[in-house]
Structure 1
Amino acid sequence: MGLQQVKPHAEIEEIWPRDGRIRLVGRIHGLPRDDAAGDWRLVLTRRAHADRRLRYDARLKGDRFESELPIDDLAAPDYAAVEEWDIHLTDGRAQLRAGRHLDDIRGKKKILVYPEQRTGNLGVRPYYTVKDNLSLECRPGGAA
């Protein structure tokens, strides 16, 4: 079976959840090389409140990127039982969803489990969605 056509995205290659931070390493996939230049930022969007966004610098070298975020920034007083943050990489023109689509592993949501970190009374962990995109899950009180 051949590779399916995959739209431009931020292909995640490494996830490092530790020491109160989440570090992401990957590469920009599907954009012409000239379009991958410029100032890129990692953007987290709170799914239940799309107007709530967090932005972090992303370091680029060629098409490879690296960024990290402190989990303390994810704390909010109005959390439901589970809150999710979607992750994108943007240069202000293109907005690329972060995910892992080029590795032949489908259904990562049920296969790959990352450790939870705690900040105050909040448990935070990266996870893959049913579409193999990367998001963050936050649970007040931690995992059930």
Structure 2
Amino acid sequence: MGVPQVKPQAEVEQVWPRDGRIRVVGRLHGVDAGAGARWRLQLTRRSRTDHVLRYDADLDGARFACGWDVVDLAAYDGFGAADQWDLHLTDGARTLRVGRKLDDIRGKKAVMVYPEQRVPGADFGVRPYFTVEDNLSLECRS
């Protein structure tokens, strides 16, 4: 019996929502980061996939870190009662879903609850959350 292969992923180790920013720290698994490759965090709005925000990710070997201001999401109008944004890490050739799957915690959506950040000058807040598939997303609520 061989060693199980890990599906390439951007594994979250820490999420820091505070002071109007969200910072995500993690590690690439099952993929070589590539020397000199430029990795970026991509936030994609579920209801309007043409709404995409991109941020440079700092890489140190397989370890990544990136952060953004929650006010950046206010650039996109037309929020309904709620909206979600999905997080991916990409180098242009590969796109990895950001999530947390390599631990023993199941059902993170109900277990790991992060505080909401109110968006200055807008009528909504942003909260990171884990989906039912243990991927990291953002919820925007009025």
Normalised by the length of structure 1, the TM-score is: 0.90
1:110 CA drift (Å): 1.0
The 8 Å contact of residues 82 and 140 in structure 2, kept in 1 or not, is answered as yes
1:74 is matched with 73
Secondary structure in structure 2 of the residue aligned to 1:74 = helix
Opposite residue 128 of structure 1, the aligned amino acid is F
Q: Deviations over 1:91-130 (max 9, x none)?
A: 0000000000011111101111000010131110000000
Count of matched residue pairs = 137
**Residue of structure 1 equivalent to 2:134:** 132
Hey, what does 2:100 align to over in structure 1? 100
Indicate the percent of aligned positions where both proteins have the same amino acid: 60
- Structure 2 SS opposite 1:127: strand
Give the letter aligned to residue 95 of structure 1: T
Q: Deviations over 1:37-88 (max 9, x none)?
A: 5100000000000111000010000000000011001113200111000000
After superposition, the CA RMSD in angstroms is 1.6
- Find the counterpart in structure 1 of residue 48 from structure 2: 49
Gaps of 5+ in 2: none
Structure 1: runs of 5 or more not aligned? none
Counterpart residue number, 1:39? 38
8 Å CA contact 1:28–1:36 kept in 2: the answer is no
Q: Distance in 2 between matches of 1:63 and 1:57?
A: 15
Letter in 2 for 1:129: T
For 2:117 and 2:83, how far apart are their aligned partners in 1?
15
1:10, 1:29 within 8 Å by CA — same for their partners in 2?
yes
For 1:65, give the aligned amino acid: F
Distance 1:4 1:116, change over 3 A: farther
Matched, 1:117 2:117: yes
- Alpha-carbon distance between aligned partners in 1 of 2:134 and 2:64, rounded to the nearest angstrom: 19
TM-score by length of 2: 0.91
Q: Deviating runs (4+, > 4 A) in structure 1?
A: none
